[in-house]
Amino acid sequence: MTDTLPREKLPRHIAMIMDGNGRWAQERGLERIEGHVRGTEVVRRIVEECCRLGIGQLTLYSFSSENWKRPRQEVDFLMSLLKQFLIDERPEIMRQNIRFRIIGRREDLSDEVVQEINETERQSSTNAGLTLALAVNYGSRAEITDAVRAISERVQRGELSPNDIDESTISNSLYTAGMPDPDLLIRTAGEMRVSNYLLWQISYAELWVTPIHWPDFTNEVLHSALRDYASRERRFGGLKTPTA
């Protein structure tokens, strides 16, 4: 059982790519949007379980910058679903002491969605439990591009010397500034790629892929990922210390 794992062996930060909503629905003869509805229910359950386990941060790939290419009806539904999620879950976010964050470019989102994002972030800003970060209109290459642009502007203003730019300068210029890097990246639906997600931040994350589609992702599947993570030896490029 996961509860028997020492707390120090649980990841501090879990990132998830929630894949397979549409395929789950199509396999059941349903509209793709039904998979997204079911997927939102799974988000609620997994967030609650991460709170119970004492996980420090959960970051969910909710809507990528590439997802705008999907049919307009599906995109509109996803934006409506996000807005309603923010409204409906705000009391629960406060009850569970969750700090809510959004990472990604907000300028392409509707004013209504941004308003609900800002309000949820504002109300939860002093909460000290799980940090729940949703990656919305997010793409890692765009994030790094924005960081480079911001650093260049600092150099141009004379606030920063090019010789002083280091990894921390870049990290502190990303959307995730101030957040710990993910320890564990979970992807559902069996795809063996990271899909432009947290490319800088997952440099040393452990990867765990399951063929299960996101709407069928359960607490038990999460526990399996955590047990596997706890059994791994993380060397961060170093060598195992030899034993006598």
pLDDT tens string, the chain, 244 residues long: the values are 545 666 779 999 999 999 999 999 999 999 999 999 999 999 999 999 999 999 999 999 999 999 999 999 999 999 999 999 999 999 999 999 999 999 999 999 999 999 999 999 999 999 999 999 999 999 999 999 999 999 999 999 999 999 999 999 999 999 999 999 999 999 999 999 999 999 999 999 999 999 999 999 999 999 999 999 999 987 766 656 554 4
CB-based burial of residue 5 (10 Å sphere; 0-12 exposed, 13-18 middle, 19+ buried)? middle
Q: Which helix (H) or strand (E) holds 113?
A: helix 111-124
CA distance to 67, 68, 102, 220, per residue, from 115 (Å): 21, 20, 12, 35
Strand partners, 208: 186
Scanning the structure block, which residue is given the tokens 């999907």? 70
Distance CA 20, CA 190 (A): 9
What confidence score (pLDDT) does residue 244 get? 42
Q: What does DSSP say about strands 131-138 and 57-64: parallel, antiparallel, or unpaired?
A: parallel
Closest CA to 181 of 14, 2, 44, 9: 14
Residues in the chain, total? 244
Strand partners, 209: 187
Contact 174, 147 (CB under 8 A): yes
CB-based burial of residue 223 (10 Å sphere; 0-12 exposed, 13-18 middle, 19+ buried)? middle
Torsion sign over Cα 111, 112, 113, 118: positive
Domains of the chain, with CATH numbers? 9-138+181-230 (3.40.1180.10)
What confidence score (pLDDT) does residue 7 get? 76
What backbone phi and psi angles, to 5 degrees, belong to 205?
Answer: -70, 150
Distance CA 86, CA 214 (A): 20
CB-based burial of residue 98 (10 Å sphere; 0-12 exposed, 13-18 middle, 19+ buried)? buried
What confidence score (pLDDT) does residue 237 get? 66
Scanning the structure block, which residue is given the tokens 């910058």? 65
Contact 58, 132 (CB under 8 A): yes
Positions annotated as catalytic residues are 19, 67
